[in-house]
Amino acid sequence: MAIRDILIIPDKRLRAKSEPVKAIDASVRALVGDMFETMYAAPGIGLAAIQIGVAHRVVTMDLAAKDAPPEPKVFINPEIVGASAEKSTYEEGCLSIPEYYEAVERPQAVKVKYLDLDGKAQEIEADGLLATCLQHEVDHLNGVLFIDHISKLKRDMVMKKFKKAAKKADSDKPNSDELAGDKEPSHHIG
Ligand code: GNR
Ligand code: NI
């Protein structure tokens, strides 16, 4: 198992639609292991495979309290097959949009079909945080982020901030010439 890098906006891979898992084999079990390790290390309460760059419909989750025993959950090919008319609002965050939190309104309860790690079909009725988190993760599998559910003004502000940060991180990287040779850095001098 390994802790994998979490993709941060504006990484375009976060907008990809993930492919259904065809067979739950050793590679899927290894992916799930890496996802739990990455999610617990972050720490986060849920993770979609695309957040570590793997475009397969796999979600890990653990909603147990910090001082309680872990409750790891895996959802393969999850599908929302029903949603309540009643809505609820939750302050959401996302490991791919670090340190930004905003209220999101979603159906208060959902019915979700999925496969477990044994490939067995399951169906659950979720409400509260589980319902919110399942909707947030299924959104990821469809290339949708929680900021798509907030106002355009707020979304544009967040995107701008993260685009600027990505640009700076890139310009701060030494280029290959500088890595290979002993000459002065070619930019940001003087
Ligand atoms: O860790 C996470 N917390 C969270 C809080 C409110 C609603 C959804 C979430 S999921 C998030 C981890 C994450 O980015 N999953 O995709
Ligand atoms: Ni997220």
Ligand 1: which of 40, 136, 145, 148 to mutate, judged by most atoms within 8 Å of the beta carbon?
A: 136
State the Cα–Cα distance between residues 188 and 190, nearest whole angstrom: 7
- CB 9 less than 6 A from any atom of ligand 1: no
Q: 50: domain range?
A: 12-171
> Does a structural domain hold residue 118?
yes
Is pLDDT of 178 > 90?
no
Specify the pLDDT at position 185: 53
pLDDT value at residue 134: 99
**81-125 tens-digit pLDDT:** 999 999 999 999 999 999 999 999 999 999 999 999 999 999 999
For residue 41, being part of any structural domain is answered with: yes
Looking at the structure of the chain, the number of domains it has is 1
Query: Is 142 a member of any domain?
Result: yes
**Closest ligand to the CA of 133:** 1
Residue pointed to by tokens 């640009």: 167
- Is the model's pLDDT at 189 over the cut of 80? no
152 in any annotated domain: yes
Predicted local distance difference test score (pLDDT) of residue 175: 74
The verdict on residue 158 lying in a domain is yes
Is 99 annotated as catalytic?
Answer: no
Question: Can you give the CATH number for the domain in which 108 is found?
Answer: 3.90.45.10
Lowest average pLDDT, out of 38-42, 48-52, 165-169, goes to: 165-169
Q: Is the peptide bond before 10 cis (omega within 30 degrees of 0)?
A: yes
